[in-house]
């Protein structure tokens, strides 16, 4: 598929849509996206998706250069739709995004078509129901975790290594760096390195923030 054909795909979609290259740069942005986000195609094309949409998912993870969706797309790994709150032109709206991987046999560059459907009312109602259930009922911890977790969040697609996941689970269980080191028979320095990598991938500023985001995304 030629790049011209790839660019036309977004413009042939009635829903708001755009196409990204393998670096996360916008190469096509349709009229529906212009109307939804208040950003013209001229303003969007050539810029990073994260800088244009300024998205944040339900786990509090902000869009950035270390995008799990982009990484999975570049690995040709099929993607599920996800929910994200965008912050454009002073507005905050929830959207559900479907991603289609567009392969080009003549290039290693991977293009992705993102189709966006506003779900602001439904998403805010969903979050309000969660808050009500958690505040007004007494549920076992396992049920609370299930209610809080979300599978339609980019955070759920964060690419953690097996060791990082193991460290994260031990951290979420309340273990100290020393105990994790002993449990895994690794040095404290190595343990701290794994924790720092996890925090970076989850865009967390503290261990507690990383644990909370991982729990919400169902990673632990």
Q: Where are the domains of the chain?
A: 3-119, 123-216
Alpha-carbon distance of 210 to 196, in angstroms, equals: 10
To which CATH superfamily is domain 3-119 assigned?
Answer: PAS domain (3.30.450.20)
pLDDT at 133: 65
Cα–Cα distances in Å, from 32 out to 27, 84, 86? 15, 18, 15
Beta-bridged to residue 114, according to DSSP, are: 18, 99
Alpha-carbon distance of 55 to 219, in angstroms, equals: 21
> Which ranges of the chain have pLDDT less than 70?
1, 89, 103-108, 121, 127, 129-134, 137-152
Q: Which letter, b or e, does each residue of 26-61 get, where b requires 16 or more Cβ atoms within 10 Å of its Cβ?
A: bbbbbebbbebbebebeebbeebbbebbebbbbbeb
Q: pLDDT of 114-143, one tens digit each?
A: 999 888 767 777 767 666 666 776 666 555
pLDDT at 77: 80
Alpha-carbon distance of 111 to 36, in angstroms, equals: 22
In three-state secondary structure terms, 122 is helix
pLDDT at 11: 92
Q: pLDDT of 181-199, one tens digit each?
A: 999 999 999 999 999 999 9
Q: Which letter, b or e, does each residue of 149-168 get, where b requires 16 or more Cβ atoms within 10 Å of its Cβ?
A: bbebbbbbbbebeeebbebb
Cα–Cα distances in Å, from 182 out to 73, 137, 185, 188? 37, 39, 5, 9
Q: Which fold has domain 123-216?
A: Arc Repressor Mutant, subunit A (1.10.10)
Q: Rg of the chain over CA atoms, in angstroms?
A: 19
């Amino acid at each position: 598929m030629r790049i011209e054909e790839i660019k036309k795909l977004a413009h042939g979609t009635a829903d708001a849509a755009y196409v990204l290259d393998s670096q996360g740069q916008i190469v096509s942005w349709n009229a529906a996206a212009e109307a939804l986000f208040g950003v013209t195609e001229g303003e969007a094309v050539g810029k990073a998706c994260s800088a244009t949409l300024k998205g944040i998912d339900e786990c509090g993870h902000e869009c950035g250069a270390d995008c799990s969706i982009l990484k999975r797309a570049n690995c040709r790994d099929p993607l599920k739709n996800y929910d994200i709150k965008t912050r454009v032109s002073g507005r905050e709206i929830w959207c559900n995004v479907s991603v289609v991987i567009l392969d080009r046999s003549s290039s290693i560059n991977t293009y992705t078509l993102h189709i966006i459907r506003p779900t602001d009312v439904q998403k805010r109602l969903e979050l309000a129901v969660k808050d009500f259930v958690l505040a007004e009922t007494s549920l076992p911890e396992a049920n609370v975790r299930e209610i809080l977790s979300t599978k339609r969040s980019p955070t759920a697609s964060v690419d953690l290594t097996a060791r990082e996941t193991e460290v994260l689970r031990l951290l979420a269980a309340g273990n100290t760096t020393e105990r994790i080191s002993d449990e895994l028979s690794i040095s404290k320095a190595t343990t701290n390195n794994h924790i720092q990598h996890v925090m970076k991938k989850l865009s967390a500023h503290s261990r507690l923030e990383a644990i909370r985001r991982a729990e919400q995304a169902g990673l632990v």
